Chains A and B, each alone.
Chain A
Amino acid sequence: DIQMTQSSSSLSAYVGNTVTFTCRASQGIRDSLAWYQQKPGQAPKLLLYTASRLASEVPFRFSGSVSGADYTLTIRDVQPQDSATYYCQQYYSLPYTFGQGTKLEIK
């Protein structure tokens, strides 16, 4: 199975700042990576797919990139409503696997 490792279990940011989440795959996944946002008591919501493509109705403040085996989610101009846990997921090979999640606290 492909292991997805998110580098931080939690991050904090001030409103208006930029925050970056990182996810590393244990083997090549050819950009078959999605990012999800999950708020307490809610289902996850797709933010990005194919590493950098924005899902429908997701604000342009969210963006994704890749460098080698490291995939990055960046939120610019962080807002209070961005407080959530963020997960990466690879869908390159079965079984699809998720990272352990990074919780974002807004200061």
Chain B
Amino acid sequence: QVLLVQSGAELKNPGASVKISCRATGYTFSASSMHWVRQAPGQSLEWMGWVSAGDGESKVSQRLMGRVTISRDTFATTGYLEVGRLRSEDTATYYCARGGKSCRSAGCLDVWGQGTSVIVSS
């Protein structure tokens, strides 16, 4: 069974950093890409970036560049999202998702993690 299991909820102070993990099981991790998407309360979805699990190449949305790092550990079959210099607007549920191979540039998201809530508040 293909599964993405994310780390637990986080409560952070403004200015701090958070690192979320996403462990993949049930498929060949290194043959796929992993995307990160976030959703602020009551809002739509925002694509943050992706990492190629095979060679580690990553791309982050220009809007978030400089504050967001996306990485992976192929031995642990785990992807990571780190967001630095947190502000209240970063309060959201963060999802990892697998890039679907049937789609152009593996850009559709065919398997999703359960989400990780991050609250930024003093």
A residues touching B (Cβ–Cβ < 8 Å)?
30, 32, 34, 36, 43-46, 49-50, 53, 55-56, 87, 89, 91-92, 94-101
Smallest CB separation, B67 vs chain A (Å): 15
Residue pairs across A and B with Cβ atoms less than 8 A apart, 13 shown, are: A32-B105, A34-B107, A43-B95, A43-B113, A44-B45, A44-B95, A44-B109, A46-B109, A49-B102, A50-B104, A55-B110, A89-B45, A98-B46
Q: Which residue of B lies closest to A29 (CB)?
A: B104
- Complex CA–CA separation, A45 to B100 (angstroms): 12
Tell whether, in the assembled complex, residue B109 and residue A34 are in contact, meaning their CB atoms are under 8 Å apart.
Answer: yes
- Of A45, A46, A95, the contact of B61 (CB 8 Å cutoff): A95
Contacts of B16 in A (CB 8 A): none
What is B's interface to A at a CB cutoff of 8 Å?
Answer: 35, 37, 44-47, 59, 61-63, 95, 97, 100, 102-105, 107-110, 112-115
Report whether A95 and B108 are in contact in the complex, using a CB–CB cutoff of 8 Å: no
Q: Which residue of A lies closest to B6 (CB)?
A: A43
B contacts with A: majority SS: mixed
Q: Bound state CA distance, A91 and B102, in angstroms?
A: 12
- What residues on A are CB-neighbors of B113 within 8 Å? 43
Quick check: B112 and A44 within 8 Å, CB to CB? yes
Which single residue of chain B is at the shortest CB-CB distance from A94?
B59
Add 13 more A-B contacts to A34-B103, A95-B61, A96-B107 (CB < 8 A).
Answer: A32-B103, A32-B104, A36-B109, A43-B95, A46-B110, A49-B102, A53-B102, A55-B100, A91-B107, A92-B104, A94-B59, A94-B61, A98-B45
* Given contact pairs A34-B109, A43-B112, A45-B112, A97 touches B102 in the complex (Cβ within 8 A): no
Residue of B nearest to A45 (CB): B112
How distant is the Cα of A50 from the Cα of B107 in the complex, in angstroms? 10
Chief secondary structure at chain A's binding surface = loop
Query: Known: A34-B109, A43-B115, A45-B112. Contact between A91 and B103, CB under 8 A?
Result: yes
Task: Sort A-B residue pairs by CB-CB distance and give the 5 closest, nearest first.
Answer: A91-B107, A43-B112, A34-B108, A96-B47, A49-B108
Residues of B within 8 A of A94 (CB): 59, 61
- Whether the Cβ atoms of B45 and A43 lie closer than 8 Å is no
